[in-house]
Amino acid sequence: MLERLAVMLMKEFLELKRDRWAMFRLIVPLIVQMLVFGYAATFTVHHVATSVLDLDRSQASRSLISHFVATSRFDIVDYAQKQSEITHDIDTGRATIAIVIHAGFSRMLDKGAALQVIVDGTNSNTALIALGYLSQIVSGFSLEQSGASGIGISLQARPWFNEGLDDRWFFIPGVIGTLTLLQVVSLTAFAIVREREVGTLEQIMVSPIRPFEFILGKTVPFFLIGLGDILLVSAFGILWFHVSFMGNPWVMLAGASLFLLAALGIGLLLSTFSRTQQQAFSLNFFFVNPLFILSGFAFPIAAMPEFLRWFTYINPLRYFLIVLRAVFLKGVGFTVLWPELSALALLAFVALSLSVLRFRKSLD
């Protein structure tokens, strides 16, 4: 049995070696996507185009406006003269936010003045964040106006694990899991479907080799490639983007191994439902995107409707992301992460068993 496994492995690595572009295909897209994610994927909002209409023209209103000018969060692109100009700015996209200070603003200050804010809600996320900054500035301003006599609660927030609230620190551990999933699932599915297409699969199956020996021979190389991916992308995140790595590398390795087994199982399962590489491609597309969306990579699972939340429980990426973020940022170990690791182990077991069973049937 070991001989047959050894010759399968030898063949796989020989093919990989012959494939001149293999190294390029396996490494370059990962690095490029890592860079794109690292630089582009951010929730931070800067330089929001802002239009201001000051109908009060008082010292107080000018002081408020200067508060906006002083931060880099807002760029005042237009000092409007009338309401219609504001509407025009928002309609044309020249401004995302418009601030209207109505006449009488300064007179009403001590009784509670109203400030009108119009926001382009097309991108709800940006709008929400910009409004957040805006209300911070406004409350700072009103605290100032009320002077020492005023009662105010000042917030002394101290974020843990990611003190700078750097989005990159949140995204990069997630990118490691996501990219590895994409890579490993598609590699596995395509490699097996290709053997089916070329006819080598049938040829191997008439030999005394057992299906699980074939599957093992086929998946071990991808397991190693997957580990290499994780190592490479992690090193890149730590060294290039300076994401902290607080935890135990062994916890990470355990999580990565279980996750890779589950990913291999999914790839295998997809391959048993595909006769041609085209079919594998569309199946891959159909399955991998939801895995990504329902993982908590960017969209909080807690906010999903209940029936979708159930799907996240059978998504290995969900658990691996928790493990990755915990190991990278929190530095917690097995004592905290055992439920996620167990879930990954269970999913890996189920996916692999199902794929071996399906594989036998798909040979007919």
Partner 1 sequence: MMENAILVSHLGKSFGEVKAVRDISFSVTRGEIFGLVGPDGAGKTTIMRMLAGVLQPDEGEIDLDGLDMLKDAENAKLHLSYMPQRFGLYEDLTVSENIFFYGELFSVPRAERISRSRELLEAAGLLPFGKRLAGQLSGGMKQKLGLVCALIHTPRVLLLDEPTTGVDPVSRRDFWAILYNLRESGVTIVLSTAYMDEAERCSRLALLHEGKIRHCDTPSRLKESMPGALISIFSGNPRKTREVVSNQPGVLGVLLMGDRIHVRVDDAATRIPELEKLVSGQGEFEIRIAEPGIEDVFVALLDEREEA
Nearest alpha-carbon partner for 217 in 32, 20, 12: 12
Which of 36, 108, 246, 363 touches partner 1 by CB under 8 A?
A: 363
In this chain, which stretch among 9-17, 75-83, 144-152, 280-288 interacts with partner 1, using CB under 8 A? Answer: 9-17
In this chain, which stretch among 38-46, 156-164, 191-199, 296-304 interacts with partner 1, using CB under 8 A? Answer: 191-199
* Nearest-angstrom CA–CA distance, 96 and 119: 6
Which of 98, 192, 201, 270 touches partner 1 by CB under 8 A?
A: 201
* Nearest-angstrom CA–CA distance, 84 and 98: 12
Shortest reach from residue 8's CB to partner 1, in Å: 8
Q: Which helix (H) or strand (E) holds 53?
A: strand 48-54
* Nearest-angstrom CA–CA distance, 226 and 179: 10
Binding mask 16-55 for partner 1 (x = CB under 8 A): --xx------------------------------------
- Site size toward partner 1 (CB under 8 A) is 26
Six-digit token pair at 235?
Answer: 């090193």
Which of 138, 205, 216, 220 touches partner 1 by CB under 8 A?
A: 205
Gyration radius from the chain CA atoms? 28
Which of 112, 147, 159, 199 touches partner 1 by CB under 8 A?
A: 199
Nearest alpha-carbon partner for 15 in 260, 190, 210, 250: 190
Which of 44, 84, 123, 200 touches partner 1 by CB under 8 A?
A: 200
Residue type, 101: I
In this chain, which stretch among 4-12, 79-87, 98-106, 339-347 interacts with partner 1, using CB under 8 A? Answer: 4-12
Looking up tokens 């209207």 gives: 100
Beta pairing, strands 48-54 & 97-101: parallel
Give the interface with partner 1 as residue ranges (CB under 8 A).
3-4, 6-7, 10-11, 14-15, 18-19, 195, 198-210, 363-364
